[in-house]
Amino acid sequence: MRASESFEATWAAVPEGLEPVHFAARREFLLAHVRAGERVLDLGCGEGRFAAELARAGALVLGADVAQEPLRRARSAHPELELSLIDGEREWPLRDASFDAVWAGEVIEHVADTAGWLSEVRRVLRPHGTLLLSTPAHGPLELLVLALSRSAREQHLDPRGEHLRFYTARTLAQLMRDFGFEAIEVRSVGSPLRRTRTLLLAAVRSRF
């Protein structure tokens, strides 16, 4: 099964209209780093909630996803948005240096070829453009919860699960440095002790 088929199956099982996890915090983070008039790629845009917020703030947004179903939902909910289907396993049909910022909310943990994905991000970013992303956190508290709870650990590490990569703030920052990003800021949102999924929010800038 190709990755796109897997994502289609995943989206078919997701109820329509769900609010993204930590939506308010992620929206605040995103809008704090994007200015009106900037060209932004919402990579893995899902149902278009963040793309719509960016457009309302004056950004010029392209929402892109690897599956048709989320794009169908995004077109229905936000017909004003510019949306595009991309193949996550090939070069994206986007021009070099065409975006001031790329937003990837809850995407990087699903990517099998992280090196290829980040290379494409760098290719489509303009010089000194910004990559903004969120991904589940795996800090000391999260690891402690997994260590103490067998059921939580087995669910988290289910080989049939959607998440292929697991990040701490340190490993995420190092990955960004290794791929030529600078001005790296990584912080966490939420707490596993409150039974909410903790996220990492990262803002990095391309050197070239």
**Residue-wise pLDDT tens digits, 126-145:** 999 999 999 998 766 666 66
Mean pLDDT, range 182-197, rounded to an integer: 79
Of 100, 90, 101, nearest in space to 66 by CA: 90
User: Model's pTM, two decimal places?
Assistant: 0.89
Tens of pLDDT, residues 59-97: 999 999 999 999 999 999 999 999 999 998 889 999 999
For the chain, the farthest-separated pair of C-alpha atoms sits apart, in whole angstroms, at: 49
Mean pLDDT of the chain: 90
Q: Name the residue among 108, 107, 101 with its Cα closest to residue 130.
A: 101
Give the fold, CATH level 3, of 3-206. Rossmann fold (3.40.50)
Residue-wise pLDDT for 5-23, tens only, equals 888 988 998 999 999 989 9
